Amino acid sequence: MNLKLKIWRQRDPNTRGKFVNYKLNDISPESSFLEMIDVLNEELITKNEEPIVFDDDCREGICGACGMYINGRPHGPDSLITVCQLHMRKFKDGDTIVIEPWRARAFPVIRDLMVDRSAFDTLIQEAGFVSVNTGSAPDANSIPVAKKYADLSMDAASCIGCGACVAACKNASAMLFVGAKVSHLTLLPQGNVEAEDRVLKMVAKMDELGFGNCTNTGACEAECPKGITLTNIARLNREYYKATV
Amino acid sequence: MSGIFTSSIGKKLMMSLAGIFLITFLLVHLGINLLIIIFDDPMVFNKVAHFMGKNILIKIFEIVLFGGILLHVIYALILQIQNWIARPRRYSKSNYSNTSFFSKFMIHTAIITLVFLGIHMADFYIKAKLGHALEIEVDGVFYHDFATEMLDKFKILPFVIFYIAAFIFLGFHLIHGFQSAFKTLGLDNKKYTPIIQALATLYTVVIVGGFTIIPLLIYFK
């Protein structure tokens, strides 16, 4: 495959970035998107140019590090995957591919396609945990959990904190992420004890960190690599009202 | 408690409550307007409008209604400005995600609806308040002759087109707004959301269809 790439280059958080065009030839349709950028970077290094900086880690679709906004969609033109699981067969020979970093005030660009997602860590540190000393694992049957809630909690817990929800949202809102974390903990008896305190703290922190407001467009749900649903946002709203009123 | 008015979720709650209130008002407004095409006698409409204008309960409701509109608009502005600030640099190629189409243009359809509302209010409500409206006397009681005014106005083609276009944009706003309000209230699950979405579509069709058919019938009569 021969491709034209339009990639965002930015030296550091304080420099103005710009798009740079690259041409890349003979890419295998079977290669992954990150491998395609690896090939480009090798070419750049041999030409003594700066390689493109991007986040990646596991390359198995479970760590959430590889955030890129490809052709107008977080993680590119496929559903329920991260960029490392995106393959070049999803594109056509001769395509122009536009690659941008996540864009949100709460996720400042560090360099090129790498953004600082520590706002998510700050949110978790604020109240996204169960504050008990759990000790050794208790007997699985000592705390009964209804199957329905165990399933819903597990679905929410599959969030990998990649930030695609914020990147996809036209308002750069973090409601799906916070909704997933609140649901995951609150639906279980261990986490429910601190439900009210948690939701109030996390929402206040979310607002403080400069994320936008949810308008229920559903872009987050459509782009979440783990299929976290909007019902988690509705649950976050319910939990918030319960805690406030 | 304070967060219910100031936090992101709190502001959305106010937006959705005001929105649902306005949604119910539109149904009442449509119900009254339909009288003009259901009854041949325009006085039926005028008498109902007169009742609406004079009744003390309705007078209070009127203040609540303006409050609702104001609340919806002010919170919308605050939320929208915050949303713009939350993404200081836009994407060069964006919004290809598979989302509900009209949800992307809520602020645009809102502005069109607000401009329409301003013109509509100037045409009927403010004119009547300033005493410039046509009047008609029946059995010694003076009524604002809104019916004749409406019947006259909807004989003018540009006016008819303007109103229908505005209703269509209002429909675009409602089809997302209706179901979004319920999600903000926390009502969203697999069982009920499809029902709410079907209701949203039905409601939008009734409102847009109802308000559109009135000028059309009058124009072609």
**Residue pLDDT, tens place only, B116-170:** 999 999 888 887 777 777 788 888 888 888 888 899 999 999 999 999 999 999 9
Which CATH number fits the domain that encloses residue A19? Answer: 3.10.20.30
What is the total count of domains within chain A?
Answer: 2
What's the confidence (pLDDT) of residue A64? 95
Q: Are A93 and A167 found together in one domain?
A: no
* Residue A35 in this model has a pLDDT that exceeds 60: yes
Letter for the amino acid at B159?
Answer: F
What's the confidence (pLDDT) of residue A8? 98
Q: Are A92 and A167 found together in one domain?
A: no
Within a domain: residue A56? yes
Kindly list the residues from chain B whose CB atom is less than 8 angstroms away from the CB atom of residue A74. 97
Which stretches of chain B sit within 8 Å of chain A by CB?
Answer: 1, 3-4, 7-13, 79, 82-83, 85-100, 103-104, 106, 176, 179-180, 183-190, 193
Within a domain: residue A203? yes
Residue numbers of the domain that contains A214: 117-131+142-244
Q: Which of B47-61, B65-79, B128-142, B192-206 has the lowest mean pLDDT?
A: B128-142
Per-residue model confidence as pLDDT tens digits over A118-130? 999 999 999 999 9
Kindly indicate the confidence band of residue B95, based on its pLDDT and cuts at 50, 70 and 90.
Answer: confident
Beta carbons of B188 and A230 less than 8 Å apart:
yes
**Higher per-residue confidence, A58 vs B123:** A58
* Residue B221 in this model has a pLDDT that exceeds 90: no
What's the confidence (pLDDT) of residue B80? 97
Beta carbons of B9 and A173 less than 8 Å apart:
no
Which CATH number fits the domain that encloses residue A199? Answer: 1.10.1060.10
Q: Are A127 and A99 found together in one domain?
A: no
Q: Are A87 and A125 found together in one domain?
A: no
Q: Are A198 and A121 found together in one domain?
A: yes
What's the confidence (pLDDT) of residue B1? 55
Residues near B18 by Cβ (< 8 Å), separated by ≥ 6? B68, B69, B71, B72, B75
Within a domain: residue A80? yes
Within a domain: residue A147? yes
SS (H, E, C) A94-147: CCEEEEECCCECCECEEECCEECCHHHHHHHHHHCCCCCCCCCCCCCCCCCCCH
Q: What's the CATH number for B3-87+102-220?
A: 1.20.1300.10
Kindly list the residues from chain A whose CB atom is less than 8 angstroms away from the CB atom of residue B97. 72-74, 168, 219, 222-223
Kindly list the residues from chain A whose CB atom is less than 8 angstroms away from the CB atom of residue B82. 212-213
What's the confidence (pLDDT) of residue B103? 93
Q: What percent of chain A has pLDDT over 90?
A: 94
Q: Are A8 and A92 found together in one domain?
A: yes
Beta carbons of A105 and B87 less than 8 Å apart:
yes
Q: Are A42 and A125 found together in one domain?
A: no
Within a domain: residue A12? yes
Q: Is A15 on the interface with B (CB under 8 A)?
A: no
What's the confidence (pLDDT) of residue B2? 67
Q: Are A124 and A228 found together in one domain?
A: yes
Q: Are A235 and A122 found together in one domain?
A: yes
Identify whether the C-beta of residue B136 lies closer than 8 Å to the C-beta of residue B46: yes
Q: Is A215 on the interface with B (CB under 8 A)?
A: yes
Kindly list the residues from chain A whose CB atom is less than 8 angstroms away from the CB atom of residue B88. 105
Within a domain: residue A103? yes
Q: Are A123 and A78 found together in one domain?
A: no
Distance, in Å, from the CA atom of A95 to the CA atom of A29, rounded to the nearest integer, reads: 12
Distances (CA, A) of A136 to A133, A139, A188: 9, 10, 18
Q: Are A95 and A153 found together in one domain?
A: no
Q: Are A13 and A101 found together in one domain?
A: yes
What ipTM does this complex have? 0.94
- How is chain B split into domains, by residue range? 3-87+102-220
Distance, in Å, from the CA atom of A53 to the CA atom of A109, rounded to the nearest integer, reads: 11
